[in-house]
Amino acid sequence: MRADLRLALLLTRGSDRREWWRVMLTAVGAALATGFGLAAVAVASVRGQVSSSYFHGLLNQPGQRAGVVVALLLLWVPVLGFLGQCARIGAVHRDRRLAGLRLAGATPMQVRRIAALESGLACLLGSGVAAVLCALLMLGMLQQPLPLQTWGGFALVTLAVPLLAVLVSVVALRRVVASPLGWVRRVRQGHSRVATLTLVVPTVLVGLAALLIVMRTTGPGATSFPLLVFSAVALTGAGSVAVAGITARATGRRLAARTENPAVLIAAERLRADPWATARTNAAVLLVAVVGVGFVGVRQMFLDSVHHPREGLPYSPEDVAFYTTGVNLAGAAVLMALLISLGGLAVGTAESLATRRRGLAAQAAAGVPQKVLGQALLLETALPLAPAMLLAGFGGTAVYVAYGKAVHAATIPVLMPLLVPVAVYAACLLAAATSLPLLRRSVHPAELRFA
């Protein structure tokens, strides 16, 4: 193990520019996960009822703090998806490097262990930096020292994040072939099982931890509706991923046989060759879209009941500020999850271009305009994402309509929640468009030297 760790460190230090991008992005993702985890530990360490002016008293009651902890833990889901996308950067280059290790006498298990340790070192760097910054921030803000168990929780989160990131990286690189001859062949599965499990497994694990926190604070009887909502979101998200893969294959076959547009034809052939690539890349975005639609509908009904109560006296300005701050912080968490997911989408699109740069250079050399290749890149994201986003909108709508029926809301909103899938869809296209500058470099004739 010591020799493998030393070799992983040497390979990381000797990485080229593309590999250093992977290291930095992985460290950023680990730092985000560590920051969310440390914030959850800090909030959970507060005992009993307190009196604080932070966020209009949102952290004063144990039940309210449990909700904050749950929101922070659920942010791990898009972060883990982002780390999975970062692990795929330079996968083809990694295939060749691991093939060299096989020629030097390394076993397949040892090669996989070295690749996992490379990701672990990057994650440990980001986690350590985030832990130090958060510890200094806590020491500067608090008037009294933290208890020993809180510091133990900080250490546990700092070590757990790299371990989780290593597991996600191993799953993301499960198809990296360590052939002694350096010949890479990827066999695509004809179903969505792996792509769906990639989304469902981390979501279920994080969701179960969040539900245990709620049950410990409120009791089992108060968790039936949150459990129903969580199940609906997870199932709808998994279904959206499956729909993205299935429709990508069907759309690719149909368009490849009927279209005459060059950009559509190139995108159709790409979708038909690897229909689940887009599903894997968009998994976290689709899950956030389900949550976003449901949240916007619930937020509108909740604030309407706060500002215009149907029974009893109107709420005081302090109570209105308290409820408004809580729901706005929840919206900020959803927005943060969306931004992280869009970052993963941009990274995945850039990695797809880097992997196919020789083929793109050959197409450009054959006379295909760069504009056509750029349009094909955007169509690869737009075509399979549209029906999946439609299903995500239906799932989120079912969540907030069920909430409205449960609380007997006076009016159930329609327009604002249904605008969320449209906005997320447009944001996904903009995230994919960020890779267009990389396309100019990928189609350079110099790439043909390595074909």
Instruction: Give the rounded percent of residues in the chain with a pLDDT score beyond 90.
Output: 9
DSSP state of 310: S
Does 230 score more than 60 pLDDT?
yes
431 falls in which pLDDT band (50, 70, 90)? very high
Least confident of 43-47, 216-220, 347-351: 216-220
CA dihedral for 311, 313, 314, 318, sign (positive or negative): negative
Closest CA to 69 of 34, 46, 51, 43: 43
pLDDT at 129: 92
Closest CA to 361 of 294, 430, 285, 443: 443
Both tokens assigned to 255: 């368009």
CA dihedral for 237, 243, 246, 249, sign (positive or negative): negative
Closest CA to 21 of 337, 282, 351: 351
Closest CA to 27 of 98, 74, 109, 82: 82
Distance CA 89, CA 161 (A): 20
The mean predicted confidence, pLDDT, of the chain is 78
What's the mean pLDDT in 420-442?
A: 89
What's the mean pLDDT in 280-308?
A: 87
Least confident of 216-225, 401-410, 423-432: 216-225
pLDDT at 32: 92
**DSSP state letters, 249-269:** HHHHHHHHHH---HHHHHHHH
Q: Are 90 and 77 in contact (CB under 8 A)?
A: no
At how many degrees (to 10) do helices 62-74 and 317-355 cross? 10
Tens digit of each residue's pLDDT (9 = 90 or more) over 157-210 = 999 888 888 787 777 666 655 556 554 444 444 444 444 455 455 555 555 555
